[in-house]
Amino acid sequence: MMTLDAILNGETADIYFHRTREILKHEGLDPVVTMEIFPSRDGILCGIHEALRLLNTVLPNDAQVWSLDEGAVMHTKEIALRIRARYSMFGLYETALLGMLAPQSGWATAARKIVDAALPIPVIAFGARHVHPNVAAQMEYAAIIGGCSTCATPAGARLAGKSPSGTMPHAMILIFGDTVRAVQAFDKWMPAEVNRVALVDTFRDEAEESIRVAHALGDRLWGVRLDTPSERGRVTPDLVKEIRARLDQAGFPRVKIFVSGGIDVERIELFKRARTHRRFWCGQCDQRRVAD
């Protein structure tokens, strides 16, 4: 993972900035310049706190820096960051500044689209598995800046001042060999403040598994999660409706239903049109997936 020292030393800078610095030094040129950074399209600004920390490290006290706020809506060609100082003080760090702002703003913007589509249902970021671990925390932080209620990894949650959220993986269910046994172990060993949410799509029919774990945990079961793979038809509004009806009929109307697995804005709208969204929450993965 790149450290601040690597950035300050210019290891992450495009080589032509190194060459420019060398040429200007030999020519005795070091003018006061103004650099402006702006987006090529509308979006949500993210990464500005990190960019400002870098600038505070390298710029003298008489430098001038102005920016939009973290999480601000920015419009095409609107100035998001303006820097005025001698070029030698910050020119080498243009690559790093853009690298901090561009991906995080992109992630935050994508998350905002999911969040807006899911309103008033909260969204949880769950996309760390789709990026390199060196940037996973920044990606999930950006998703929270974009409007997600929290995220899945401790590192991302820590950056945003949140607590991570999650249920249980298929690996755990497979190791136990039975969904109920896995859920009971989860209930036995996890702290009381962790919601009991059972993954119910691994071994048996989702509705059957939902009823089994509901009977096993009773009032301690907070919700069930559906992550049915595409090979089995994915999670559909009809499946959600069936499980909702089965849980209600069995005396478990308070058990919530989480939906996950490749859910994007279009699929959120599909669930909303089917009016299933009134009974489950939404979580988000990779700025494209949704789960309750």
Residue pair 70/46 in contact (Cβ under 8 Å)? The answer is: yes
Q: Delimit the domains of the chain by residue range.
A: 4-106, 166-290
For the whole model, what pTM was predicted? Answer: 0.88
113-151 residue pLDDT tens:
999 999 988 889 988 999 999 999 999 999 999 999 999
Q: Which DSSP letter does residue 274 get?
A: T
pLDDT, tens digit (0-9, with 9 covering 90-100), for 59-69: 999 999 999 99
Give the Cα separation of 21 and 231 in Å (integer).
56
pLDDT in the model for residue 288: 35
pLDDT of 285 higher than 50: no
How far CA 177 is from CA of 173, 182, 183, 210, 213, in Å, comes to 6, 8, 11, 16, 14
Q: What is the pLDDT of residue 262?
A: 75
CATH architecture of 166-290: Alpha-Beta Barrel (3.20)
Give percent above pLDDT 90 in the chain: 77
* pLDDT tens digits for range 18-60: 999 999 999 999 999 999 999 999 999 999 999 999 999 999 9
For residue range 191-225, list pLDDT tens digits in order.
999 999 999 999 989 999 999 999 999 999 999 99
Q: Would you place residue 287 in the very low, low, confident or very high pLDDT band (cuts 50, 70, 90)?
A: very low
Q: Which of 264, 205, 272, 197 is nearest to 232 (CA)?
A: 205
Tokens of 235: 């999670």
Q: 4-106, what's its fold?
A: Aldehyde Oxidoreductase; domain 3 (3.90.1170)
Q: What is the dihedral of CA 157, 158, 160, 166, to 10 degrees?
A: 10
3-class DSSP assignment, residue 86 = strand
Q: Of the candidates 140, 160, 139, which has an alpha carbon nearest to the alpha carbon of residue 151?
A: 140
